[in-house]
Amino acid sequence: MPDLTPGVPSALSPLVRRIVAPNPGPMTGSGTNTYLVGIDEVAVIDPGPDERGHVDAIVGASMRERVRWVVLTHSHPDHIPATTRLVEATGAEVVAFSNKVQPGAKEDEPIVKVDRTIGEGDVLEGTEWGLEVLHTPGHSPDHICLLLEEERVVFTGDTVLNGTTSVVNPARGGDMKQYLATLERLRKMRISRICPGHGDVIDEPRPYLDDYIKHRRARERQILDVLGAGPARIRDIVEKLYPDVVPELHDMAGNQVYAHLLKLRSESKASGRDTRSIWKLA
């Protein structure tokens, strides 16, 4: 099995290597995956946390002068802070969907300088490879996935993870309706493998995506069932649907429930105002 030990480069294919960042935790699993695509010209996907050792591992595995691009799948803080340090070491061009600041940062304090914005259908071309951009909102509005055309491999950032489900948090721009549409889109594509932002490679994408979608649909039905028994607040729904979740993760679970409720409200299936209000069937 490929190594998930932080700081150890692992070859996933002739064109792809992975280095796991040293930021394991409940939300990041074994750590953020940084991917190196290419040999003569290298694109670094999601440089991860600003850890000197991690950046040194990226540069050491790539050769400093061959790192041409730093590509950000989205602007969340476990994926992008090492960008500045990596650019200083390599002179690479920073490429992302948006040049906006990180969600939660002050408006006048951009977390990284983006040199070029890219969008749906754009292709980043190296000497041996091409990465096609797929705009995949849901986890965040600026989220992109990247299709490595030569291998039909998709780098999914936080849209699809291995070993857990992705968080859709409305407070950080998450949108459950868009997220499910993104999953359906990926499921219909001809993909050989998924390289997720956290966890190991997914070698059977179609059944995995089927399970991802089934899980979200099942959670939606459960929420409707709870509301069918009577009006409820989000914290009440969490207690019924996540009985085994430790209290420290109840806020995260509440964000998921809220994302589902907003989707149901947009479909006129539920009504409620916000995270503190009482929700009921429409």
Q: Is the pLDDT of residue 94 over 80?
A: yes
Question: In 3-state terms, what secondary structure has residue 117?
Answer: strand
**Which class is domain 215-281?**
mainly alpha
Q: Is the pLDDT of residue 1 over 50?
A: no
Burial (Cβ within 10 Å: 0-12, 13-18, ≥19) of residue 132: middle
Q: What is the pLDDT of residue 29?
A: 82
Q: Where are the domains of the chain?
A: 10-203, 215-281
**At residue 51, what is the residue type?**
E
Share of the chain above pLDDT 70, in %: 95
- The CATH superfamily label for domain 10-203 reads Ribonuclease Z/Hydroxyacylglutathione hydrolase-like (3.60.15.10)
Q: What is the arithmetic mean of pLDDT over 157-186?
A: 95
Which residues have a Cβ under 8 Å from the Cβ of 204 and sit 6 or more positions away? Answer: none
Share of the chain above pLDDT 90, in %: 82
Q: What is the pLDDT of residue 104?
A: 47
Q: What is the pLDDT of residue 106?
A: 52
Q: What is the pLDDT of residue 109?
A: 53
Q: Which residue has the higher pLDDT, 1 or 142?
A: 142
**At residue 90, what is the residue type?**
T
Q: Is the pLDDT of residue 101 over 90?
A: no
Q: What is the pLDDT of residue 103?
A: 47
Q: What is the pLDDT of residue 108?
A: 53
Q: What is the pLDDT of residue 28?
A: 86
| H or E segment to which residue 148 belongs | strand 144-148
Q: Is the pLDDT of residue 56 over 60?
A: yes
In angstroms, the Cα distances linking 216 to 12, 75, 148, 210, 270 are 29, 24, 27, 10, 16
What tens digit of pLDDT does each residue of 210-245 get? 999 999 999 999 999 999 999 999 999 999 999 888
Question: Could you tell me if 134 and 145 are in contact, meaning their C-beta atoms sit under 8 angstroms apart?
Answer: yes
The mean predicted confidence, pLDDT, of the chain is: 93
Q: pTM above the 0.75 mark?
A: yes
Question: Which band of pLDDT confidence, cut at 50, 70 and 90, is reported for residue 184?
Answer: very high
Question: Which band of pLDDT confidence, cut at 50, 70 and 90, is reported for residue 16?
Answer: very high
The vertex-6 CA angle with 11 and 79, nearest 5°, equals: 90
Q: What is the pLDDT of residue 248?
A: 83
